[in-house]
Amino acid sequence: MRKIHAVPLGVLGAGAATFGYASLIERNWFRLRRFDVPVLPPGRPPVKILHISDAHLTPGRSRLIHWVRSLDALEPDLVVNTGDTLSHRDAIGPFLDALGPLLDRPGVFVYGSNDLYSPVLKNPLRYIWRTSKSDYGRRRREPDLPYRELGSSLQAAGWLDLNNRIGRLKVGELDIEFGGIDDSHINRDRYDKIAGPVDPQADVHLGIMHSPEPRNLDRFTADGYDLLLAGHTHGGQVCVPFYGALATNCGIDRPRVKGLHRHRGSWLHVSAGLGTSPKAPMRFCCPPEASLLTLVPRR
């Protein structure tokens, strides 16, 4: 009888230990990923882009706040935030505190669904066979998070709002053209508003979005964008060793759920993100991250 009881108790103990590790340790085990991206014209000096995404910030996430603030020491030339910044009505102040001196650097941003809608409790296993896109329907028509105030605060610091917009910035010696779209996960993307060939007079062209939906990636690439940046996937958030992500929560394929890859004629970087929904506060085999992308001349 003791052996019969020992097996389920052992499984229960292993499950509790795994949950404790995923929610208390790995969720706060922040990593910086570094990539060189060959997209610049020959002879141009390198430019460093800090890509942050999916903070899902709530007041009190002091480790996340302090770690993001420390990234200014990398001296990035440009900061790109690809959305899902908020998970609480009172998170704008803590997020601006997290950015700190990064706000004094050139920056651009788009929104994610969780900048508009507060998190709700869901069965996370559903992501294996469906995305969460259908969760944003008739019951959640009116945003309940202060996304406009978030945008106004970032714009007041000089950052570009790229939600369904074209923008331009001088970053170091580079003239960078941006095309951005709002979140396709909640049908706010309007690519037609930015559609058309990129300006050949710009040195480099960046496409900015929250969710890396292939239909939008294809249009960015067809219009001539050199590098596409997205988030949303959380890198799968809970991954299986030697297999990887179980789900992507969008149309992107599993092998490209995070990191730097090619998409037709463009480069694509998908961030695994900084946080998690407070309703699913765990990560497993997928630490939270920010990325430093160094743009270098084409080979």
Domains by residue range for the chain, with CATH = 32-297 (3.60.21.10)
- Report the half-sphere exposure of 48 (CA within 13 A, side-chain side): 15
pLDDT < 50 stretches in the chain: 1, 3, 5-7, 9-15
Q: How far apart are CA 167 and CA 180, in angstroms?
A: 8
Q: How far apart are CA 190 and CA 182, in angstroms?
A: 7
Model confidence pLDDT, tens digit, residues 28-49 = 999 999 999 999 999 999 999 9
Q: Residue 35: what pLDDT?
A: 98
Q: Residue 120: what pLDDT?
A: 81
Q: Residue 11: what pLDDT?
A: 41
Q: Residue 23: what pLDDT?
A: 76
